[in-house]
Amino acid sequence: MSTSRRQFIAASAVAAAAAPGLFAAGDDTLKVGLIGCGDRGTGAATQALLADKNVKFVAMADAFADRIETSLKNLNSKAALKGKIDVKPDAQFVGFEAYKEVIARCDVVLLCSTPHFRPIHLKAAVDAGKHVFCEKPVAVDAPGVRSVLASCAEAKKKSLSVVSGLCLRFDAGFREAVKRVRDGAIGNPVALFANDYRGGRWAKPRQPDWSDMTYQMRNWYNFTWLSGDFNVEQHIHFLDVCAWVMGDKYPAKAIGMGGRSVLTGTEYGNIYDHFSVVYEYANGARLVSNTRQHPKTKGDLSARVLGERGQALLSERTNGITIKSEKLDWVFEGDSGDMYQTEHNELFASIRAGKPINNGEYMAHSTLLAIMGRTAAYTGQEITWKMALESKEDLSPPKYEWDAKLAQPTIAVAGVTRYS
């Protein structure tokens, strides 16, 4: 037995105990499987395969066969992945139950489907004792968030890694800036601004041969039950940065508004195209959250933190990462690295070292933070953290069946739509 294999087995003993079959192949190859073979899934598979010397890509699942085909073609075209891909036709699974087959065949599962299914996929992966890369957001409703919290607690008991796709937490510049703010560079934060201003969004118009379910699944971003609405799907990134700055503490309540003013066609489903929410922390600090998706408008992806003695700007590429106070004028000038690659490097290193990473709590709570803002805007009511966490609103359809009748979901109206 080689030294590296001996070290690997010793270091991973706990994980192995929890994940029977991990070493069944008689070597230290980590078998990787992908659930959700779209753009991000293809990217995540690439990063996973580059993160470790001894990995094999062995199984893929998607709701649609063509997504697997395109993804695999793309992966096979990358010279750097040569020799690491072995997904035979009988390891390609299609449909709502496909995830089970992938989980059964691998050691590390990449969860990259549309957000609605994440709690189901995560639970199945953890129940089966598999390590997980889990894209954001992790749920679209409170029952989903509670399920994710339970799965992540179980993963902790089983010494499994659960690494979150909230990628800004893996960016070296963001990490350094947040550390400085947490260490007191600008005093206590009193106001935070989470901005996600973008142009339009994609939509897939219905095709004549598509059932209701096929249409909504193909056009998933535009349906709240599948994406969580873009306040959850997209804006979670900078809401999460603010939560991180606050030491993973979450606000007590929120009030907000939103609507559809530009993206109003039926192809835009039932989600909004703008939200504005003010969250209040127990200590009085405010988090002002603004997001919109209006074509031909100015973009801004950033978190700004006003502290008692200065301010910090954490911006994705556009305006940089800076901290200014009476004593400090700091600009991040280092190398931010490739945050998507860093996620996987850290995931695989944690598995090899037998030192699991579990991002479960913040990825679930930041998802809830975004759902709380959506609920405040949809209902027009003040929503407390307790209300958000205990909500019984379950957005699942009655059945996951391709010929299921699914009406075009209604669009929420503040003052009419009720909290439940």
Ligand X SMILES: NC(=O)c1ccc[n+]([C@@H]2O[C@H](COP(=O)([O-])OP(=O)(O)OC[C@H]3O[C@@H](n4cnc5c(N)ncnc54)[C@H](O)[C@@H]3O)[C@@H](O)[C@H]2O)c1
DSSP 8-state class, residue 313: E
Pick the piece of the chain touching ligand X (CB under 6 A) from 110-118, 152-160, 191-199, 263-271.
110-118
Residue 99 binding ligand X, by CB under 6 A:
yes
Q: How far apart are CA 42 and CA 415, in angstroms?
A: 41
CA angle 128, 131, 136 (to 5 degrees): 110
H-helix or E-strand containing 173?
A: helix 172-182
* Position among 8, 117, 225, 348 found at the interface with ligand X (CB under 6 A): 117
Pick between residue 129 and residue 165 the one whose CB is nearest to ligand X.
165
Neighbours of 10 (CB within 10 A): 9
Secondary-structure percent of the chain, ordered helix, strand, coil, rounded to 5:
40, 20, 40
Q: Which of residues 96, 197, 210, 402 is near ligand X by CB under 6 A?
A: 96
For 260, half-sphere exposure in the C-beta direction (CA atoms, 13 angstrom radius) is 19
* Nearest residue to 332 (alpha-carbon basis) of 218, 177, 143, 207: 177
Q: Give whichever of 167 and 246 is closer to ligand X, judged by the CB atom.
A: 167
From 112-120, 187-195, 272-280, 281-289, give the range in contact with ligand X by CB under 6 A. Answer: 112-120
Of the candidate spans 7-15, 113-121, 254-262, 408-416, the one that interacts with ligand X by CB under 6 A turns out to be 113-121
Asked if 115 is part of the footprint of ligand X (rule: CB under 6 A), the reply reads yes
Question: Exposed, middle or buried by CB within 10 Å (0-12, 13-18, 19+), for 338?
Answer: middle
Q: Residue 189 or 360: which CB sits closer to ligand X? A: 360
Q: Identify which of residues 38 and 354 has a Cβ nearer to ligand X in the complex.
A: 38
Q: What is the SS3 string spanning 184-232?
A: CCCCCEEEEEEEEEECCCCCCCCCCCCCHHHHHHHCHHHCHHHHCCHHH
How far apart are the C-alpha atoms of 370 and 391, rounded to whole Å? 14
DSSP single-letter state for residue 85: B
Shortest CB 98 distance to ligand X, Å: 6
**39, 127, 308, 394: which one contacts ligand X (CB under 6 A)?**
39
Residue written as token pair 């089970």: 100
Q: How far is CA 111 from CA 59, 119, 186, in A?
A: 12, 10, 37
Residue 372 makes contact with ligand X by CB under 6 A: no
Residues 317-346 close enough to bind ligand X by CB under 6 A: none
Q: What's the CA gap between 229 and 271, in Å, rounded?
A: 5
Binding mask 170-209 for ligand X (x = CB under 6 A): ----------------------------------------
Chosen residue from 84, 105, 131, 136 binding ligand X by CB under 6 A: 136
* Complex with ligand X: residue 201 or 324, whichever CB lies closer: 201
**Whole-angstrom Cα distance, residue 412 to residue 418?**
9
Instruction: Single out the residue of 50, 140, 167, 301 in contact with ligand X (rule: CB under 6 A).
Output: 167
Q: Is there a contact between 414 and 273 (Cβ–Cβ < 8 Å)?
A: no
Q: Establish if 61 lies at the interface with ligand X (CB under 6 A).
A: yes
Nearer to ligand X, 213 or 387 (CB): 213
Q: Whose Cβ is closer to ligand X: residue 280's or residue 338's?
A: 338
**Options 56, 67, 169, 180; binder of ligand X; rule CB under 6 A:** 67
CB of 218 to ligand X, least distance (A): 8
> Which amino acid does the sequence have at 247?
G
Residue 40 binds ligand X (CB under 6 A): yes
Q: Binding residue for ligand X (CB under 6 A) from 60, 103, 112, 412?
A: 112
Query: Shortest distance, CB of residue 367 to ligand X, whole angstroms?
Result: 10
Looking at beta carbons only, is 187 or 397 nearer to ligand X?
397
64 binds ligand X (CB under 6 A): yes
Extract the tokens encoding 288: 């002002």
Number of residues forming the site for ligand X (CB under 6 A): 25
Which residues in this chain contact ligand X in the complex, by CB under 6 A? 35-41, 61-64, 67, 96, 98-99, 112-115, 117, 135-136, 165, 167, 233
